Structure 1
């Protein structure tokens, strides 16, 4: 019989069974240890994630918070930026007229009252003479006269003086100026001739704007008065353009009223109250 056919003894079978049992116990021990290690690592992972989340929350809260130290203001006041001082401001203020209204009750001297009475009498007398002259002269039909602050204002509408966009006097305008010169020759006080327009821009190539047109019309009236014998020393031509309208420029009627020439007859300077 060969060795493989040799019958095993009882001791050899017991040894093999003991070895197999030992191997199973060792395998079972290893499996239990691995499971324990796996459970421990899972718990640590969960704990680490929780700590990380808490840390993130605290970082967000800190970034959204502001800390304030006692006695220190977080927002500093921005100093006001001062405009540079105008070196000419004091000069302008000295030359500017007084803007404060006069009190209603003021002490007026006898001399001032006498001058006021003289100014009022003068303006009433000149206005009465002018109005009578206008009423009796057909060439001055439509010419108006009024008083403002002791000044006599004679208003001539452009419809009797100039064609549209022109500073050349029409025949009717020349007749009106010649007739008015008959009475203005007897007035010794200064006369300011002002040209006025509406707000429609001028489209003529001769006059770039209403300033030039209004000034040219005032100068045409002055030249005609001088040609009719009025002293040129007491005349002055001024262009006002559309800056002093009498009526609303939104309507044709209003624009027609604003196109005018005014003659302002002023009292003597020595009779004025400053």
Structure 2
């Protein structure tokens, strides 16, 4: 009896010691795990915040880009006052020369009675001229009106003297078009911008300095719910982008 009792007692002691060892190991593992979590949150908290901000910004930009009825706002104009944007790589003197070009074009189109239909604005690339399409084209057609040649000739004079890259964008309203020549507004807007480009090519503007693109109805500047809004959305925008990398630095006006 004494031997058996002692054997049983030693077994219980060994069993208790084993559980204590396992328990201590488990506690150490849990402590290490929670320490790792605290360390991770301290180090990468900023990264998580930055990721969240970046994701939210990307989501907002993506949703804005998908909106077919999004109104394109000009960030360079506030309350009708022209603000010169920050354009890297050019001096203040060159910016002043570009401003002079813009002013001379504004005065010309105003003298021609087009002040209401032609807008000239700064962009972050340089500047742009916005023609309502009734100035350049007959309704539903893409051939440039002969009567509008002098208006484009002013641009040609500027382009031949200055190192601008010229991008021509065609835009329409949301009224559907469907005929053998233009199955949709995509074809109409693109054909109009390309025909302006062809006129520039014909008048010796180098092809490598030209590009044309059509946006159909998907970049309105005003609501298409009114006749005035649709008229404003039917437009051709001609962008003048600076080309400093070519080493040209003279910006000359019309005269």
Query: For 2:88, which of 105, 111, 116 is the aligned residue?
Result: 116
Shift of 1:189: 2.5
Q: 1:125 aligns with which of 81, 93, 97?
A: 97
Q: Report how far residue 139 of structure 1 moved.
A: 4.7
Over residues 29-78 of structure 1, what are the superposed CA-to-partner deviations in whole Å (9 max), with x where a residue is unaligned? xxxxxxxxxxxxxxxxxxxxxxxxxxxxxxxxxxxxxxxxxxxxxxxxxx
Post-superposition offset of 1:182: 1.4
Q: Which of the residues 122, 126, 133 maps onto 1:147? A: 122
Paired with 2:123 and 2:213, the residues of 1 have a C-alpha distance of 18
- Please state how far the C-alpha of 1:185 moved relative to its aligned partner: 1.4
Q: Which residue of structure 2 lines up, in the alignment, with residue 217 of structure 1?
A: 192
Instruction: Classify 1:139/1:169 alpha carbon distance in 2 versus 1 (closer, same or farther; 3 Å).
Output: farther
Q: Is the 8 A contact 1:140 1:179 kept in 2?
A: no
* Structure-1-length-normalised TM-score: 0.53
CA gap of 1:100–1:224, structure 2 versus 1, over 3 A, is same
* Structure with the larger RCO, 1 or 2 (CA within 8 Å, 6+ apart): 2
Match in the other structure for 1:235: 210
**Partner of 1:195 in structure 2?**
170
Task: Say if 1:134 and 1:115 are closer, same or farther in 2 by CA, change over 3 A.
Answer: closer
Q: CA RMSD in A?
A: 2.8
Runs of 5+ unmatched residues, structure 2: 1-56, 61-85, 247-255
Deviation at 1:267, TM superposition (A): 2.0
For 1:158 and 1:167, locate their aligned partners in 2 and report how far apart those are by CA, in whole Å. Answer: 10
Whole-Å Cα distance in 2 between the matches of residues 199 and 220 of structure 1?
21
Mapped partners of 2:153, 2:224: distance in 1: 30
Deviations 1:78-106 (A, max 9, x none): xxxxxxxxxxxxxxxxxxxx9499xxxxx
**Distance of 1:203 and 1:261 partners within structure 2:** 20
1:181 deviates by: 1.1
Q: Is the 8 A contact 1:155 1:262 kept in 2?
A: yes
The worse-fitting range, judged by mean Cα deviation, of 163-172 and 261-270 is 261-270
Aligned length: 162
Match of residue 135 from structure 1: 107
Quick one: structure 1 residues 248 and 121, their matched pair in 2 at CA, closer, same or farther if it must change by over 3 Å?
farther
Say if 1:166 and 1:213, in contact at 8 Å, map to a contact too: yes
**Unaligned ranges ≥5, structure 1:** 1-97, 102-113
